[in-house]
């Protein structure tokens, strides 16, 4: 094994100053200019870097944030996380990322794993079933930020998109193009975003005095398979809808697969609006109209929120940020008017 890294003791020996003086300088304390110079010289000559393990033992900080997400293969989650990691590393924090694979038991286990790793804070895209481990944690002195899903009874910083109005606007787009029979493929009732998106669908129907046909409301599991299955169920109805709104990316993928297999032409035979993402919208022909979420912004705001809390800035706690989505109108909606 080659040379072990230098420690503050080596810097002290090199400079003739004490460990306390070196530490004071490193941490921004007052030292004489001539001592500053010689300490800098020593640090450079010895290639000294503070041992963050030792520092952590004393300060009880690990300069690490834990991020817990439901699915590493979901480009929405990974885009959010990419932006979180980017902001955090610029502030000297590392990011431990855990994938709980949409499994509530695994979520709790990995949450506890992060706590035991003594991360300084946790950013979580929660599942939403049993949230006791999160609730219990609120009373501890460690910042927690929820992303994408709010949790009932969990009062802490939360970064969301405005799912209800995202849905409202998407379905309104269909309504204003003359569609009266609009199906929805939404997620399960335990997922916050699924519930909110369905509410938007309901609300816009009510606002336009349109009756909701419960047989057009299909609940999936936010995965490709259920998107596929539910789309087929909608099309197998005696009177299928003329349009479908699919409320997440994976189910949108599945719905498109089902349409491809049935050789159904978009938008001639069925109009469709999906959720995410920009690339997929353009490789489906004709290009899909989709709700676009501000993933970069979600990640940045989540990271900056937790950094503020870590700095001791508790103003406006607990905050809830609801970001606007954008409806990207392409060619997958047929105009039934005229």
Partner DNA sequence: CTACAATCGTGAAACGTTTCGCTCTACTTT
Partner DNA sequence: AAAGTAGAGCGAAACGTTTCACGATTGTAG
DSSP state of 183: E
Q: Is 54 in the site for DNA (CB under 7 A)?
A: yes
111 binds, among DNA, its own copies, none (CB under 5 to 8 A by kind): none
Binding-site residue total for DNA (CB under 7 A)? 28
- CB burial string 17-38: b at 16+ within 10 A, e below: beeebbbbbbeeeebeeebeeb
Q: Which helix (H) or strand (E) segment is 165 a member of?
A: helix 163-176
Reading phi first (left if > 0) and then psi (alpha if -120 to 50, else beta), residue 316 is in left
- Shortest CB 306 distance to its own copies, Å: 16
Rounded to whole angstroms, how far apart are CA atoms 244 and 171? 9
192 binds, among DNA, its own copies, none (CB under 5 to 8 A by kind): none
Q: Is 62 in the site for its own copies (CB under 8 A)?
A: yes
Instruction: Give residues with Cβ within 8 angstroms of 96, minimum separation 6.
Output: 64, 65, 66, 67, 114, 117, 119
Could you tell me which of 88, 270, 262 has the C-alpha nearest to residue 179?
270
Q: Is 256 in the site for DNA (CB under 7 A)?
A: no
16 binds, among DNA, its own copies, none (CB under 5 to 8 A by kind): DNA
Cβ closest to DNA, residue 10 vs residue 213: 10
- Within residues 2-21, the interface with DNA by CB under 7 A covers 4, 7-9, 16-21
Cis peptide before 223 (omega within 30 of 0): no
Q: Is 191 in the site for its own copies (CB under 8 A)?
A: no
114 binds, among DNA, its own copies, none (CB under 5 to 8 A by kind): its own copies
Cβ closest to its own copies, residue 35 vs residue 331: 331
118 binds, among DNA, its own copies, none (CB under 5 to 8 A by kind): its own copies
Cβ distance 160 to 321 under 8 Å? yes
Q: Is 103 in the site for its own copies (CB under 8 A)?
A: no
Could you tell me which of 288, 252, 271 has the C-alpha nearest to residue 175?
271
Site residues for DNA per CB under 7 A: 4, 7-9, 16-21, 23-24, 26-27, 30-32, 35, 48-51, 53-55, 57-59
């Amino acid at each position: 094994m080659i040379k072990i890294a230098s420690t503050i003791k080596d810097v002290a020996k090199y400079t003739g100053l004490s460990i306390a003086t070196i530490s004071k300088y490193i941490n921004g304390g007052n030292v004489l200019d001539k001592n500053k110079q010689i300490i800098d010289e020593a640090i450079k000559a010895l290639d000294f870097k503070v041992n963050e393990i030792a520092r952590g033992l004393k300060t009880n900080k690990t300069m690490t944030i834990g991020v817990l997400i439901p699915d590493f293969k979901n480009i929405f989650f990974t885009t959010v996380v990419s932006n979180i990691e980017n902001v955090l590393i610029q502030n000297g924090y590392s990011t431990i990322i855990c994938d709980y694979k949409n499994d509530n038991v695994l979520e709790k286990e990995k949450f506890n794993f992060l706590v035991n790793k003594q991360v300084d804070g946790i950013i979580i895209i929660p599942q939403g079933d049993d949230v006791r481990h999160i609730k219990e944690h609120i009373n501890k002195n460690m910042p927690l930020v929820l992303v994408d899903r709010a949790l009932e009874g969990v009062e802490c910083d939360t970064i969301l998109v405005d799912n209800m109005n995202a849905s409202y606007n998407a379905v309104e787009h269909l309504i204003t193009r003359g569609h009266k029979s609009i199906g929805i493929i939404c997620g399960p009732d335990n997922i916050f975003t699924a519930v909110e998106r369905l509410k938007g669908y309901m609300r816009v129907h009510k606002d336009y005095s349109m009756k909701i046909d419960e047989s057009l409301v299909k609940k999936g599991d936010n995965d490709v398979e259920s998107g596929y299955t539910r789309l087929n169920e909608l099309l197998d109805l005696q009177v299928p809808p003329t349009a479908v709104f699919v409320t997440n990316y994976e189910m949108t993928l599945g719905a498109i697969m089902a349409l491809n297999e049935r050789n159904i032409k978009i938008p001639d035979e069925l109009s469709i609006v999906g959720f995410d993402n920009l690339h997929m919208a353009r490789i489906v022909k004709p290009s899909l109209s989709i709700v676009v979420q501000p993933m970069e912004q979600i990640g940045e705001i989540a990271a900056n929120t937790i950094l503020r809390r870590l700095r001791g800035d508790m103003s406006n706690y607990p905050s809830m940020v609801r970001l606007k989505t954008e409806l990207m109108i392409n060619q997958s909606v047929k105009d039934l008017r005229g």
